[in-house]
Structures are given as structure tokens and as C-alpha cells.
Amino acid sequence: MTSISAPFRTRVKFCGLTREQDVQTAIHAGADAIGFVLYPPSPRHVSLARAAELARLLPAFITPVLLFVNASETQVAQAMQAIPQALLQFHGDESPQQCHALSQQGRYRYLRAARIPLDGPAPGFDLVEYAHSFSEAQAILLDAHVTGYGGGGHTFNWSLLPTSVTSHLVLSGGLTPANVGDGIVQVRSRGLSLAVDVSSGIELDGPDGKPVKGVKSAEKMMQFMAAVRAADVSGS
């Protein structure tokens, strides 16, 4: 019997959505997950009520992801009551013990963000050890370490990541339709599996040429998905 080699299937999360039309475009494009930012200082922040409205647009098998930064147990519990099918994303200073408590002692699945130095490994940070510490997390999200929380649209040096991370990985930070393929090629073999997460790289350009935060471009979303699928086929 002839064996058939299937292409890699990189999962894709579009994050920071605030509008119904962007959610619908993301669904049409084939996104696996849609992220809603529940961190008030973020320019992409939506209220819990708004996130619940947008999450109701999602069909079966597309996962809403709720992004928190140093939230309380009460805030997380309220969010999960409103959107019970959601995946949590902890993007602040939460310890493994705090993540366990926030996830209701492991009842809810969560992603844990790791802030990767822009220019390579920094003293005191070991991604392999970090992943081990957060072994309860469904995946470790790799984002650039910049001032504040979130990657700020910056990439880090993917080639310097360790090659033996015993966790599922989500590559984030400065991804665009132009570079996501290279990111997939460089990172997909470094953990148990790879997904990608994009926010600013699919946003509409404003009059000044800068992304309009929270407003997505349908064209860029489609281009991003096409680039991911092209990288998957090339790696099969």
C-alpha cells in the first residue's frame, strides 16, 4: 500500500479583533482561533460583553481565546461563565501556581506567553525550563520582550530558540504575510507542534501608514493564510 505524505497543518490564531466584519472574514479565511483582548490598557481591548457578542459569531471548531494580563480569579471566572468554550491566554506576570488557580485548578485550558528577548537568550531566561514550569499550559506562546505587555509588532531572532522544547508552541510577535512562512520553517521543529498568532500584521494601514489597532484588513488576513498554507506544503 502506498503511503501518502500529508502536508503540515499549522494552526492560526487571529488576535485583537473588535469588529463583526473582521470576525466573519477570519472565519472565511480559515482561522482556527480568534483572540479577544480583555486587558483594558490595550488599544485592542474589548469589554467582556463585546467579546461574548463576537464569540457568538464563531461556528463549531473555531475557538475563542481570551487574553488576560494579571487578571483576578473573579475576572477570569466571569469571563468563562460568559464564554465557556473559550481558551485562556495569560500574558502578564502570572506564575505557574497563579495560572493553575486562574484556570480553576486546571478546569480550563490555557496558553502561557513567554517573553523572548529580541536579540537572543538573556541571562536568567531558559525557554526549556520555562516550558517545564508551565507544563499545565496547552501551549507556550512565544512573543517578543518589549516594554509593557504584548510583542508590540516586533519579531525576535527565531534561529536562537532552543531545539528541544517539550511543549506545543505558538509563534507570535511581528508576524506578517511576508515573514510568517520563514517563521514556520525555522520554528516548527523546535517544539511538539507549531501554531502562529498574528495581530498587528493583519491590521488595516492608516493614512500615516501605521496599522489601525483593532481594525483588520481582509486582504492581509487572506494573504496571511495563503502564506501559512504555502509554508505547510513546502515542509511536507
Residue 198: inside a domain: yes
CATH code of the domain containing 38: 3.20.20.70
Residue 222: inside a domain: yes
Residue 28: inside a domain: yes
Parent domain of 214: 11-234
Is 80 exceeded by the pLDDT of residue 89? yes
Rounded CA gap, 60 and 217, in Å? Answer: 24
Mean pLDDT to the nearest integer, 121-147: 85
Residue 6: inside a domain: no
Rounded CA gap, 19 and 54, in Å? Answer: 8
**Mean of all residue pLDDT scores within the chain:** 92
Residue tagged 525550563 (cell numbers):
129
Closest CA to 191 of 132, 124, 115: 132
**Residue 148 banded pLDDT, cuts 50, 70, 90:** low
Residue 1: inside a domain: no
Q: Can you give the pLDDT at residue 235? A: 72
Closest CA to 181 of 166, 198, 165, 204: 198
pLDDT tens for 181-203 read: 999 999 999 999 999 999 999 99
Count how many domains the chain has: 1
Is 70 exceeded by the pLDDT of residue 121? no
Residue 4: inside a domain: no
Window from 22-31, 54-63, 138-147, 207-216 with minimum mean pLDDT: 138-147
Is 80 exceeded by the pLDDT of residue 147? no
Q: Can you give the pLDDT at residue 125? A: 79
Residue 37: inside a domain: yes
Torsion of CA 200, 205, 208, 211, to 10 degrees: -10
Residue 216: inside a domain: yes
Is 80 exceeded by the pLDDT of residue 32? yes
Global confidence as pTM: 0.93
For residue 24, what is its C-alpha cell? 466573519
Rounded CA gap, 51 and 49, in Å? Answer: 5
Rounded CA gap, 114 and 150, in Å? Answer: 10
Rounded CA gap, 24 and 28, in Å? Answer: 6
Residue percentage of the chain with pLDDT more than 90? 81
